[in-house]
A and B are shown apart, each in its own frame.
Chain A
Amino acid sequence: MLNDYLLTVISNIGMISLIALSAYLLLISGEISFGQQAYFGISAYAGAIATTLWGWPLWLALLFGSSLAALAAGFVGLLTLRISGLYFSIATLAFAEMVRLSLFKLSYQLEIDGELIGPNGAEGFGEIRWIFDNDVSVLEYTLLIYGILLLVLFCLVLIERSRLGMIFRMLGQDPLLTRIQGLNPVRYKVTAAILAGFIAGLGGTLYAHSFTYIEPQIFNVMLGVHALAYGLIGGLGTVLGPLIGVAIDIGFLESVRVFQGYRMIVFGGLVAVMLIFMPRGILDENRVYRLKNLAQRWFRA
């Protein structure tokens, strides 16, 4: 049977996959963001406030939190239009740190059932009780997470096959040539930022309700850089790449007891060596092409 520990690991993989996918979406369009944790965090706080303090249903809170995240992402996207490369990365990092530090100053508490509840600076935001109040079991919540993850994956696959996805990749490879091609990079850069913000936001609200307690420290740059690393480890050629990265890190190393206390030493060394041989990850564009061709030939035969 699935025990609760295992379920927690599995649901963790699902939620972290969402922020990894969000970083991946920007990666393929040529932007390295160190700041996707900001949108994860904004949505975690907003979504949790919506259910816990305002009594909204979860789906509405999800929509609210993620939209707020997308809005913030669009705003940052517009501000950072002129910069790229390392400058963009550091700007997103600076923004995310501003968000995290602002959360230390965020205090908004209401009295609910005789108790003061709500975010309170460094003390964090506990008692996010939606799961208990609605009698949702861990299994059910895990299924919800994976339902949403599948939906996001489905949409991303559609995007990848569409003209929009191709334009993202074109931007990632050569923005100037994309312009020569008669496309307006501004529009697509902001679109990518908003989409990525929304996806990270979905993960954030889900995360807050799964753990029932959040604090600013969770949304530090470590989370963001991990999200980035997952895509790069798994491969930039397909949306499955980031999921593979998450599964390797959380699913394998964190859960296997032998590595306790040595996880980063093993994982760090492993990834560093891997990146030497596969600088664009396990499933990079060329391998994906080759696999696709292989599959095609297989079907024809």
Chain B
Amino acid sequence: MTDFLQNCIDGVMFGSGYALLALGFTLVFGVMKRLNLSFGPSIMLGAYAGTWVYLNFSQNVLLVVLVTVMITVAVGIYVERLCFWAVRRDATIASMVSSFVIWMQLEEVAMHLLPERTYPFPAFFTSTVIDIGPFFVRSEHISMFLLTLVLLALLHLFLFRTRPGLAVRAVSDNPLASRYMGINSSNVLFLAFAVVSVLGGLAGFLILSADSQVTPFFGLWATFKGLIAMMLGGMGSLPGAILGGLLLGVVEANAFWYGGPVVRDISAYLLLFMMLIVRPGGLVGQRIVAQQQAAYERV
């Protein structure tokens, strides 16, 4: 029982990182109804740039954060202009495939930047273990968890308390009507990608700091974890992304404890597969799916 609870604590801590990645997916999906497969690799490239600066120029961690986020945003905008803004709106598959080939491109660029398999990644604090009764938590997980809460609050404020946030929500609700209202959907897309990239860059930094290393596989990993967490929670829903991230974290932590790494990965995909078949809308998105279905069946 103690093991199980400890796993759940670990899961929630780590799941908050998944939740951040899922938020990125959900926001982009909400606005465009398209999937950005390059999300993880853009973060990876940002992290690589950060490590590169760390190894070659300066040990200043704040600078590493800044570089990581800035490059992630730059790459995110490159992806947005090339794969989403320029591609015809109804060509959803083309966008997806396009974001995939750009993924391969980003991976190769990263390999040219830093050709070895793993590189150290800096953190703000050295890791300590904090005891709480019979349980323990690692300090970097706590800071990750807290920062996720802060970012979440900021995102909420942005979406629900600012004018650009309102524009993002308007476009995600009805792109056509927003256009008639004079909202420039191209700007909104740009903005959404920038916000999402900042979020992604920070998430990447937090996750990699906790891991203290970065590999080229991080791109794939981040895309998949974010995607799974988003789908588990419910595509296009913000609270869903958080719930999905936490659920994924808890399930993975337990599966890892009782079965090892392969079982952990299988359990994540099995959970996703079952969820999609039984309840495609995820934990909270069933209403969204039902609406989409209804909107489609309307003639």
Contact = CB atoms under 8 A, between A and B. Distances in A.
A and B touching (Cβ–Cβ under 8 A): yes
B109 interface: yes
B105 A268 contact: yes
Interface in A26-57: 27, 32
B231 interface: yes
A80 B277 CA distance: 6
Contact of B97 (A221, A229, A264, A269): A229
Contacts, number: 113
Contact of B101 (A27, A95, A101, A272): A272
B94 A279 contact: yes
Given A176-B297, A263-B108, A264-B108, A94 B97 contact: no
B11 interface: no
Contacts of A265: 105, 108-109
Contacts of B157: none
Given A264-B107, A268-B105, A280-B91, A232 B273 contact: no
A176 B227 contact: no
Q: Is the interface of A mostly helix, strand, loop or mixed?
A: helix
Given A176-B297, A262-B108, A94 B280 contact: no
B117 interface: no
A105 B264 CA distance: 13
B280 A267 contact: no
Interface in B202-239: 220, 227-228, 231, 235
Given A229-B100, A272-B101, A272-B102, A87 B91 contact: no
Contacts of B109: 265
Residue of B109, B235, B272, B276 contacting most chain A CB atoms (<10 Å): B276
A79 B277 CA distance: 7
Contacts of B227: 90
Size class of the contact patch on chain A: 35 or more
Contacts of A32: 93, 96
B265 A101 contact: yes
B262 A104 contact: yes
B262 A91 contact: no
B266 A225 contact: no
B277 A91 contact: yes
A83 interface: yes
Interface of B: 35, 37, 82-83, 86-88, 91, 93-98, 100-105, 107-109, 112, 220, 227-228, 231, 235, 262, 265-266, 269-270, 272-273, 276-277, 280, 289, 296-297, 299
30 contacts: A32-B96, A79-B277, A82-B277, A83-B276, A86-B235, A87-B231, A90-B227, A90-B231, A94-B273, A95-B269, A98-B270, A176-B296, A176-B299, A225-B37, A228-B97, A229-B97, A232-B93, A232-B97, A262-B108, A264-B104, A265-B109, A267-B101, A269-B105, A271-B97, A272-B98, A273-B82, A275-B94, A275-B98, A276-B98, A279-B91
